[in-house]
Structure 1
Amino acid sequence: MPKMSFFERDGSVREVEAPLGLSVLEIAHRHGVDLEGACEGSLACATCHVVVDPAWAEKLQPPTEDEEDMLDLAFALEKTSRLGCQIVMTEALDGLVVRLPRTG
């Protein structure tokens, strides 16, 4: 099964199984990673904001205009910021690394 890693806000790294077809948000929830997702993946908020490791950013599908609009609302936006609900696990993303942004 594919895997991915979350760099948590406290600096720890959690490598988890990442089933194909699930979003990064769903994978985080499945493994108890502190990624909110207030709109439950309906692309109506920015609470599942993650920062994709630069080595992986180019491997993702580009963000849609709707995702970019929601990212404008995210705190601590970075060049490789994405919404976890919009990154869907594929074989090509086996090993994906994302970081949870600092809050406040």
Structure 2
Amino acid sequence: MAKPQKQSKQIVRQEITGIERLGLRVSSMINHPVAQTQRWVTIHRLDTDGDREWEEVMGLLNETDGIDMTFNDDESVTLKWEASTDEDRPVEVMEPVEEPAPF
């Protein structure tokens, strides 16, 4: 009796780039509930943040409307923004889900 051969699955693990890692960190800091309440956050540059990645992400933030950037002496950056008005907020529309008749 022959044994069935096991199929090996190769797991491809994709590493995220430095820009993606820094972007995710900054995004999570901005979206944190405390930062959203106080409408400011200070981003500290880590040893793992390369010059190119830091400049790229800071450049993108600088181009974003409604964000004031302050570059601090310790190489951190403080971001401040105004509360969005009700008119600026995206409206989420929920469509009713029709359930099939039980008969």
Higher strand share: 1
Superposition TM-score, scaled by structure 1 size: 0.28
Higher relative contact order, structure no. (Cα contacts within 8 Å, ≥ 6 residues apart): 1
Higher helix share: 2
Superposition TM-score, scaled by structure 2 size: 0.28
